[in-house]
Chains A and B, each alone.
Chain A
Amino acid sequence: MTEQDSKNMDTLVEVRKIGKRYGNIIALSDVSTTVRAGEVTCVLGDNGAGKSTFIKILAGSHAHTDGELLVDGQERHFSSPREALDAGIATVYQDLAVVPLMPVWRNFFLGSEATKGKGPLKRLDVDFMKKTTKTELAAMGIDLRDVDQPIGTLSGGERQCVAIARAVYFGARVLILDEPTAALGVKQSGVVLKYIAKARDRGLGVVFITHNPHHAHPVGDRFMLLRRGKSLGDFAKADLPMDELVSMMAGGAELEALAHELERSMGADSAVVSELKEDLK
């Protein structure tokens, strides 16, 4: 088997020239990329670039109007999030869908609780759920002292991890993470990146949506850049060094103009200007 063959086999989701029109408004057009098992596909773009439209197509909230969406090589048109879930595509939204005052294990199984017994004696299998929560979180590299503590006591990064672990446990093969680092500090962002890498190592295909190239580059295997609803291209990591990614993200030419302008008004030795120039190199 050649390397190419094995890669094709591992392709979980592929989008070809996909697009979405709302009436005469073109929200997204001509976007192509692939999500492979054990790889992280980063979707980068500024606010309003079309990231959310792209997620919504993959997550099944909105059906695409142009192009093709292939899951396991089969063309699909999702008409509900349930369908996407059944195909193994789970989305972890920014609010994480957790209940802060409830214990971690109750949150982990919320909506899909494990039970034992029959009839009126049908009851929660508390031991199983606690144990599973602990082992599943440990597999993601998060070591909880006590799964009985309210999930609100966990840090933002850890909560994100519980949401990811939950999606994985309930059968996700493709994980869509919607700006998981957006609301987090530097250290917490690092924690989340670690979990993304962990999910990737467990063989999941991860779609990591972010506007921060510094977060995307360390964990990404493939980068798809969006601007104004259009794809700027789909690159493998080897073809796109960090600085190039940053300047593409910011729109290199525009940044250069900005640097010049700032230099005039703030002086060449100002910190902002030298930082901008550093980024542009």
Chain B
Amino acid sequence: MSTATAADERISGSSKISKVLKRPESGAMVAAIVIFLWFALTTDAFATSGGSSTWLLGSSTIGIMAVAVALLMIGGEFDLSAGAMTGFTGLLVGILCTEYGLNIWVAILVALVLALAIGALNGFLVMKTGLPSFIVTLGTFFVLQGVNLAGTKALIGQVAIQGMAKVPYYDQPRTLFGSAFTWGENGSVYASVFWWVGVTAIATWILMRTRVGNWIFALGGAQQSARQVGVPVFKAKIGLFMTTAAAGWLVGMLTLFRTSTVQANTGVGQEFIYIICAVVGGCLLTGGYGSAIGATFGALIYGMVNQGIVYSGWDSNWLKTFLGAMLLGAVLLNEWVRRRAEQSR
């Protein structure tokens, strides 16, 4: 960070550590380390290359969405349609290619444009009506869910995409979205892990080091104040909704090209997982505070526990209980951190 800013003699050296601990993501980081160590020590498979690549893959798609959702939450809004969007874009590309023979790259582009349009519509409705984004995106969530289920059945008579691998040029986007490196004896690191790292890095850069990032914090912190000092509130908010939609498209593509199929109900129920990951990562439900890296740690925790429970031989339904407890703990911790941050030192 900055070394050029002259250090004030009234700040003692130890505050560097407390500064790190005050970052929104530090709670999730510590929890992730603890959980990793726990499963690494208690199970045999968890810390092997094979085990690690499984939970990394599981974390990656959740993580991409959680990061985008975190940006939106810092900006003071929710997007419940984010999960259904991953299914919608995957299904759309699958149907356009297998049923209508559209060029695969064109189909991918069409899906992106449509996703961005739906995101913009979400943002436009929220900003124009002044309704809570919770309600507006709940609406688009149900619309998308219905379209995914009924539309898919009506168009291809099935509930999943079939024959994707036979589509011409399938290998090109597959290299980009669905390929994997072998790692160690039995591990393989999928493209989505690299996308995840990339998305996290870019989101962090935007949030911490660009004007837009400054605006995002201000939007969620005090929208009226932001407007008074000339922040383009309307554009920035719509941009955030389009970002989560674009992330939904990316995850849709990652799913489609890794497995060569998408189910009609893909992504439904995931929207709350993204929000939980963002909150566990230090995002305030009320906006104005949080981090992209935190959301990534949140997703990592989710992925590790999801897999670790299996390796431990426990009933996998305990995951839900764990998630709920984690969420409650995180909310309490965030509230405490926020109060400390607002108190004078």
A interface vs B, CB < 8 Å?
93, 95-102, 106, 109-113, 115, 122-124, 126-127, 130-131, 134, 145-150, 152-155
Given contacts A95-B225, A99-B217, A111-B226, 13 further A-B contacts (CB under 8 A): A96-B225, A97-B229, A102-B218, A102-B288, A110-B215, A110-B229, A110-B231, A123-B210, A131-B6, A145-B11, A147-B5, A152-B341, A155-B344
Question: CB-nearest residue of chain A relative to B338?
Answer: A101
- The chain B residues found within 8 Å of chain A, CB to CB, are 1-2, 4-6, 8, 10-11, 19, 205, 209-211, 213-215, 217-218, 221-222, 224-226, 228-231, 284, 288-289, 338, 341-345
Cβ contact within 8 Å between B5 and A130: yes
> Are B344's CB and A154's CB within 8 A?
yes
Q: Which residues of B contact A113 (CB under 8 A)?
A: 211, 214
Chain A residue nearest in CB terms to B223: A99
Query: Which residues of the partner chain B approach A154 to less than 8 Å between Cβ atoms?
Result: 344
Q: Are B218 and A112 in contact (CB under 8 A)?
A: no
Do most interface residues of chain A lie in helix, strand or loop, or is the interface mixed? loop
Are A131 and B229 also in contact (CB < 8 A) when A100-B222, A124-B214, A150-B342 are? no
Q: What would 27 A/B residue contacts be, using CB atoms closer than 8 Å?
A: A93-B228, A97-B224, A97-B228, A99-B288, A100-B222, A102-B218, A102-B221, A102-B288, A106-B214, A110-B215, A110-B225, A110-B229, A111-B215, A111-B229, A112-B230, A115-B210, A123-B209, A124-B214, A127-B2, A131-B6, A145-B345, A146-B8, A146-B345, A149-B345, A150-B342, A153-B341, A153-B343
Q: How far is the CB of A60 from chain B (nearest CB, A)?
A: 13
A98 touches B214 (CB 8 A): no
Number of residue pairs spanning A and B whose beta carbons lie under 8 angstroms apart = 99
Q: Which residue of the partner chain, among B4, B11, B205, B342, contacts A100 with CB atoms under 8 Å?
A: B342
Q: Report the Cα distance A145→B12, complex, angstroms.
A: 11
Quick one: given A98-B222, A101-B217, are A124 and B342 in contact (CB under 8 Å)?
A: no
B219, closest chain A residue (CB): A99
Q: Are B5 and A152 in contact (CB under 8 A)?
A: no
Give the residues in chain A near B5, CB-CB below 8 Å.
Answer: 127, 130-131, 134, 147
CA distance A113 to B206 in the complex (A): 14
Pick the contact of B221: A96, A100, A148 (CB < 8 A).
A100
Looking at the assembled complex, report how far the CB atom of B121 sits from the nearest CB atom of chain A, in whole angstroms. Answer: 27
- Evaluate contact between B210 and A122: CB separation under 8 angstroms: yes
The answer to whether A101 and B288 touch across the interface, beta carbons within 8 angstroms, is yes
A225 to B8, CA, bound (A): 45
Bound together, the chains give a CA A31 to CA B11 distance in angstroms of 51
